[in-house]
Chain A
Amino acid sequence: MTSIRVLLADDEPLVRQGLRMILDSEDGIEVVGEAADGAEALAVARREEPDVICMDVRMPGVDGIRATELALRLPHRPRVLVVTTFEHDQYVQEALAAGAAGFLLKRARAEEIVQAVRTVARSDSLLLPEHARALLRPRPQRARPDGPELTAREAEVLALLAEGLSNAEIAGRLQLGVETIRTHVAAILRKLGARDRTQAAVIAYRSGLVEP
């Protein structure tokens, strides 16, 4: 099994250094580059093709949100793990809306940091901890989205997807085949008009389809 290739983008060298120490000491994770701002992160990402970018939201110049948007358009489609100091950060919402696959506080424990990178690296799972979901509480003016209703099964799958479960985990939980789940997820994305799982989860929380 090949290592998860990680890029660290943060304007504080001591934060990058700390993350590198934690991740480099893990088997199966390799830090392939560091960047001090969003523009540098994109340049390094293009060159190194990391699987996961640990992206600080507040950086000088090109900030983490814009960098997330642009990184997700790179041909190898890296996964973005937003790393932030403060959980009540408006930027986090924006970063999730931009398509970040997960959310991590800088004050997390080392094991959580490692786990976050591993979770996000799997292309079909999200990392939305409690505080990130709290940012996505339903907005009263936007009730259920228009468009075709989800079936009961699809709603069930959406709830689990929004919790961050992978297709395999959802399949296990619902006693269904992974292929079936994949079909349900595709239908959910189509019905919600979501670009990816993050967007589907954001819509699910925002519209109250799923309780945060």
Chain B
Amino acid sequence: MRGSRPGGRVAWLMAGAAICTAAALLIALFVPPELRVRGFAPMVLGSALLGGLLGLAPGVREIEVAAARTMLGVAEDLVVPARPRPADRLRSIAFVQVHLLSGAILAAGLTMALPASLVVIVDALRGGADTLLPLPSDPVGRVVSGIGAGLLAALVLVIWWPLGALAARLAPVLLGPTAQDRLALALARSAQEAARTRIARDLHDGIGHALTVVSLQAAAGRHVITRDPASAEEALARIEDTARRALEELDGMLAALREDAPSGGAEPSGQHRRRLEAVLAEHRRAGMDLRAEVDVPPDLPAVQGEHLVRILAELLANAHRHGGPGPVDLRLGPVGSALLLEVSNPLADAADAADAADAADAAGAGDAGDAADAGPAAEDRVPRRGGHGLPGLSERLALFGGDLEAGPEAGRWWARVRLPILQEEP
């Protein structure tokens, strides 16, 4: 690929020359004469160096990257940092300087050195003594100056090639990803990999597991249906339950996958809010006195929203299983660049409550009766799954750099989850 597009490279150099000329004009207009450098070469150099400051202007890096890819034919990775660091800015400036200077060299060659050489060659060939040029008039001097001019003209005609090649070589160095960028890229990739692994594991653990239970329970139900219809009916209820939960899980997973696909984006955050609400409603129906404050940031990445729904479900299921009677408090909201989820519920038995320093407030006794009534029915309806619980939760959280704290505190059981909100870079 490289070097196979001379037209593109020449055009790229000429564009640099045009910008360099503009820079030179601006300098001539605005820089007082006493500050200007004298001489053509220093003037070009100064214009190119000052013109390089264009690299700071928004959009210039993008244009240079696009031009390097299409016109210079650079195949290596070139990047436009979303949040440029000083080093990125310096390298952008350096590349614009290279662009302007190399362009100016070609343009100066084509507009000045080439015509001058042609004049010398023509003069040398004409052979007359009435030349106006400061050239030697003897035949040897004339041949030498003619050959010299020819060589210069030839050099001007081919100089685009080394200039273009040099620019193409420098582009990945100055516009490519830095070691830091590569690290960030690698981290992003490994996070993606972790998410993929998690999805595979969830599919295996969740759906595969559920289907196994469904097929086995269906086999069992069919096997006993004539002899023991009651057992068969129980098997059907278990199948229904398992299948429904698996579908919910699949729904969530597919939502997360759709969000990962580039064209997705059917209001995913709204979807997560709905699913969060559904989990809360499920527990309320099951008799939980749930007091919830929920505030989900709209830009939460889908994969994290999915994660959040599971965490919430797990913590509430935990409160249900191990908590004592009484209200369950839930707070979910952003704190800085993280989401904080707090669930607290009364401790399971009086002994625990007494242990926890201050005795539970007297008001708790009043609604204990109601909650106890709701208890057993709730126990039957709340989904339970083996193999998870708080250690599994911590492990999942660690994937996204989050953490979980749980334990008794002031007469209640507390669970606090901190989940950093991932920034999705374009």
Interface residues in chain A, defined as those with a beta carbon under 8 Å from any beta carbon in chain B:
11-15, 17-19, 21-22, 25, 60, 85-86, 106-111, 113
Contact = CB atoms under 8 A, between A and B. Distances in A.
Interface in B383-397: 386-387
Contact of B212 (A21, A106, A111, A113): A106
B348 to A, nearest CB: 22
A168 to B, nearest CB: 28
Contact of B220 (A12, A21, A60, A107): A21
A14 B217 CA distance: 8
Interface in B186-238: 208-209, 211-213, 215-217, 219-224, 227-228, 231, 235, 238
Interface residues of B, number: 22
B235 A107 contact: no
B242 interface: yes
B215 A106 contact: yes
B212 A107 contact: yes
A21 B231 contact: yes
Contact of A12 (B209, B222, B227, B231): B209
B115 to A, nearest CB: 76
Interface string B25-45: 000000000000000000000
Chain B residues touching A, majority SS: helix
Contacts of A15: 212-213, 216
Given A106-B212, A106-B215, A22 B238 contact: no
Nearest to A13: B386
Interface of B: 208-209, 211-213, 215-217, 219-224, 227-228, 231, 235, 238, 242, 386-387
A16 B242 CA distance: 15
Nearest to B242: A14
A21 B224 contact: yes
Nearest to B235: A21
A17 B387 CA distance: 17
Contacts of A12: 209, 212-213, 386
B215 A21 contact: no
Nearest to A111: B223
A110 B219 contact: yes
Given A12-B386, A60-B387, A110 B212 contact: no
B219 A22 contact: yes
A85 B224 contact: no
Contacts of A113: 219
A98 B282 CA distance: 46
A146 B238 CA distance: 53
Given A14-B242, A21-B235, A60-B387, A108 B213 contact: no
Given A11-B387, A60-B387, A85-B208, A19 B216 contact: yes
B223 A25 contact: yes
Contacts of B222: 110
Contacts of B209: 12, 85
A11 B211 CA distance: 16
B224 to A, nearest CB: 5
Given A18-B219, A25-B224, A107-B215, 17 more contacts: A12-B213, A12-B386, A14-B217, A14-B242, A15-B212, A15-B213, A19-B216, A21-B220, A21-B223, A21-B224, A21-B231, A22-B220, A60-B387, A85-B208, A106-B212, A109-B219, A110-B222
A106 B216 contact: yes
Contacts of A106: 212, 215-216
A95 B334 CA distance: 50
A85 B223 contact: no
Given A11-B387, A13-B386, A85 B219 contact: no
Contact of B213 (A14, A86, A109): A14
A11 B223 CA distance: 23
Nearest to B224: A25
Contacts of B223: 21-22, 25, 110-111
A23 to B, nearest CB: 9
Interface centre among B211, B212, B387, by most A CB within 10 Å? B212
B238 to A, nearest CB: 6
A109 B219 CA distance: 6
A108 B227 contact: no
A14 B214 CA distance: 9
B220 A110 contact: yes
B212 to A, nearest CB: 5
Contacts of B386: 11-13
Contacts of A85: 208-209, 212
A140 to B, nearest CB: 31
A108 B223 CA distance: 12
